[in-house]
Amino acid sequence: MLPLAVTALEAMKEVPPKTWLKLGAVILVIVVAFIVIPKIFNMNKIILGIIVFVASSIVFFTWVSERNEPKFLTPLIDRLVPFFSSEVIRTKEKPKPGKY
């Protein structure tokens, strides 16, 4: 039985550290989810709505200003860009290589 344990330990040493970090992150997310989700259900719904609205707004305005929205939302964002500042409109046009 001892030789099997040694080979398993040696096999674990060969796993790259990046894999261990990802595995640790997944475990951390699962643990946090089990702690946070029950607290969210007990939270005041108005406060929860405000938090969701602010987070969604930040993501939406980042998509509009950086033009890195998902492809299926591009037609919607194209219609909304003219209502924002001219700086946002300029970021839509990416510089072409070789024209410096």
Where do the domains of the chain lie?
Answer: 1-31, 43-93
| One-letter amino acid of 77 | I
Distance between CA atoms of residues 77 and 29, nearest Å: 32
Q: What is the mean pLDDT of the chain?
A: 79
Smallest CA-to-CA distance from 62 within 82, 94, 88, 95 is with: 88
Cα dihedral across residues 44, 45, 47, 48: positive or negative: positive
**Residue 98: is its pLDDT beyond 80?**
no
* pLDDT > 90 fraction of the chain, expressed in percent and rounded: 19
Q: Which of 9-13, 47-51, 96-100 has the lowest mean pLDDT?
A: 96-100
| Model confidence, pTM | 0.50
The DSSP call for residue 58 is: H
* Model pLDDT for residues 31-79, shown as the tens digit of each residue: 988 998 888 888 898 988 999 999 999 988 888 777 788 888 888 888 8
Where does the pLDDT of residue 28 fall: very low under 50, low under 70, confident under 90, or very high at 90 and above? very high
